[in-house]
Structure 1
Amino acid sequence: MKLSIYYSESTDPSFNQAIEESLLKHADDNHIIAFLWQNQRSVNIGKDQNPWRVCKPKQLKQDNINIVRRHTIGGAVYQDLTHTNIALIGSNNYLTKDIIQKILLGTFDPLNIEVAISDKLECLIDNKKVSNTALSENNHYLFFHSTIRVNTSLTDISQYMNSRYSILNHKDLERAYTSINQHTRPLEHNELCRYISDSIQEALELDAENTIILNNQHPDWVEFSANFYRLKSWDWNYGQSPSFIESLQTAFSWGNVDLRLNIDAGVINNVYYDAPTAYHNMMNDFSQTAIGYPFNAKSMISIVCGLLLKHSEHYDELMEVSEWLQQEIA
């Protein structure tokens, strides 16, 4: 049995997720793979999740924080450089839940922190989660991913994740989540990686072959570039969302406007509106023109520009609609 541990120097979440996905292709019955990394500020969402529902795309865009859709199901997780990520990949004949639990417990031994491991393989300190996990099995292989909070600001989590569709608020987070540094001396990413690596080797009783992946230097793997550019794309991160309805309302000097947009696979497929009678022709053309456009701020510019000549008498009103929608939609 061979054990390989990869360490990424990159903090680009799309780059690191492309590494993780590529490593899944490298697993075989005689090879256990571990991958350790951290991401710059980002929101990682599950394969089947809707970013407009689980986080705040508009706020994230304003703060230059990317949304990255994972290849696995699971919840949305805010990450920054106060988190450490670990992935384990291998045959489930050798890499078992019991082994993973042993690895997680061993990681915390040098810190003298009493940690419990939940049935979902989440790390708990004083019954508060210090990690979020994902676990899947496919073709006799086990894939485990954990994001460990080292010194995370719960304010940042609530700022970007506590949308109007979420029950989370800051007090809920304080009751549910904690970070390692709240229970021990200050801990850095590289030190935690060393503890994880040592625990992996001890639990598996194997010596590791270590590989450092340089900052944004693309590995020479056939599937890596395709994974990386897909993970950077709007079509993957937003366009893979399930169907939903977005309702928007505002009050202009010329009247109130209500919009209800049906979104399917990230694309507008129907628009219902309520607006002052004098603007029905303008809004009717808007609702028809919008069909087929991606649901993003850039599309709103294109839609309105296409209406300016036909409805030149409402130039100011159309520009107000455009500015409003660009502010509302990521």
Structure 2
Amino acid sequence: MLKVKTFLAESPFVDPRINLAIEEHLLSHLSSHSVILYLWQNEHTVVIGRNQNAWKECRTSLLSEEKGTLVRRLSGGGAVYHDLGNLNFTFLASHLSYDFIRHIKVLVAAFRSIGIPASFSGRNDIFVENRKVSGNAFYQGKAGRYHHGTILIDVDIDRMVRYLQPPAAKLKAKGIDSVKSRVANLKEFNTSLSIDVVKKAIKASFLEEYGGEGENISLSDIMKKEEVKTLYKKYSNPSWIYGLSPDFDVEIENRFDWGHVALGFHVREGSVSQCHIYSDAMDGDLIASLAPFLKGVPLQGDVLAKALRRNFPESMPQEVQEMACWLEKDWAHMF
């Protein structure tokens, strides 16, 4: 097994814009054969995935009225609610050192060490007694990749339900009728738990799995860097958070096994003048790359499908193939 150098970073900040800026900075400056465990918390925050429509995934007005913060992250996946009863983790690793299975092993072993019978299931979640306690998302940069996620320890589930509004098709696909019915706090299974107890268990499990001393990274020093200040401005910028106005001429959506997709089109003289694709699919980079392929294409499902396919002549991802089939089948003559 590849020997790596281990690092630990724990944020003293609860502002999501600061924590996301630090996370991106750590990713950009990874050394080879290194793995960082970064633990962080956000106060009263909704975090949406890279390709999601803020207005459709979150009750944005209500969140604002109740002094909450909305941010958009780099990774794909769905919207999540953070408060100080939630603990976020990020495993950042160089390309050679990245190993998702080892990350999950660290988390599951940590939970079990504090009396939580956790198991990994589904496409990206950790469950206890068939209820989700942790979700994961992913991003790949030039220097390496990260895998990050939430751990529900003592989250205000009622607030979570108030702010998040996942599409009905997503809930139906999972065989449930509410957000509340499928998630659980770790404290339901061990009432003596605290954030600090979970942090200590994860750090111990991380060092047990990877070895090394776990050199500490000073995030207070990192916050002084101009690059991090610039990243903070990016994550605070409304154009990054909200993206393109949702006032489209045509909108269509569908639910696939790998996620929900909504396409919004601005149309001029029968062709696509601008397109935006919203999705909670885990491959955020792939989804983000697709919209330009449809610009200038006649607004016909079969023609749009061909435009997608011709950009993947050698190996076509499952998501692209299934989107193309859906456009051909359901929208060939309906625009």
- TM over 0.5, shorter chain: yes
Change beyond 3 A, Cα 1:218–1:142: closer
Offset, 1:151? 1.1
Q: 1:16 aligns with which of 19, 28, 32?
A: 19
CA distance in 2, matches of 1:245, 1:154: 36
Change beyond 3 A, Cα 1:140–1:237: closer
User: Following TM superposition, where does structure 1 have runs of at least 4 consecutive aligned residues deviating by more than 6 angstroms?
Assistant: 163-167
Offset, 1:152? 1.7
Cα deviations by residue, 1:29-84 (Å, 9 ceiling, x for unpaired): 22211210110001000111111110111101100111101012111111111100
Offset, 1:218? 5.9
1:219 to 2:223 alignment: yes
Contact 1:53–1:165 (CA<8 Å) still a contact in 2? no
Q: Secondary structure at the match of 1:223?
A: helix
Contact 1:54–1:166 (CA<8 Å) still a contact in 2? no
Match of 2:185?
179
Of 149-158 and 11-20, more deviation after overlay is shown by 149-158
CA distance in 2, matches of 1:127, 1:241: 38
CA distance in 2, matches of 1:263, 1:57: 23
1:113 to 2:116 alignment: yes
Identical aligned residues as a percent = 26
CA distance in 2, matches of 1:192, 1:108: 8
The within-5 A match list for 1:181-200 is 181-200=187-206
CA distance in 2, matches of 1:44, 1:213: 21
Change beyond 3 A, Cα 1:176–1:71: same
User: Which consecutive residues of structure 2, in runs of 5 or more, have no partner in the other structure?
Assistant: 251-263, 267-272, 274-335
CA distance in 2, matches of 1:263, 1:133: 30
Change beyond 3 A, Cα 1:21–1:139: closer
Q: Give the structure with higher Rg (CA).
A: 1
The within-5 A match list for 1:223-302 is 223-240=227-244, 244=248
Cα deviations by residue, 1:253-311 (Å, 9 ceiling, x for unpaired): xxxxxxxxx998xxxx9xxxxxxxxxxxxxxxxxxxxxxxxxxxxxxxxxxxxxxxxxx
CA distance in 1, matches of 2:58, 2:249: 16
Change beyond 3 A, Cα 1:66–1:242: same
CA distance in 1, matches of 2:199, 2:58: 29
Q: Secondary structure at the match of 2:178?
A: helix
Residue correspondences, number? 249
Cα deviations by residue, 1:135-158 (Å, 9 ceiling, x for unpaired): 244558331001110012221111
Match of 2:106?
103
Offset, 1:85? 0.3
Of 101-110 and 5-14, more deviation after overlay is shown by 101-110
Change beyond 3 A, Cα 1:244–1:166: farther
1:129 to 2:135 alignment: no
Match of 2:160?
157
Change beyond 3 A, Cα 1:9–1:263: farther
Cα deviations by residue, 1:189-235 (Å, 9 ceiling, x for unpaired): 22211111111111112210123534xx7623342111101111212
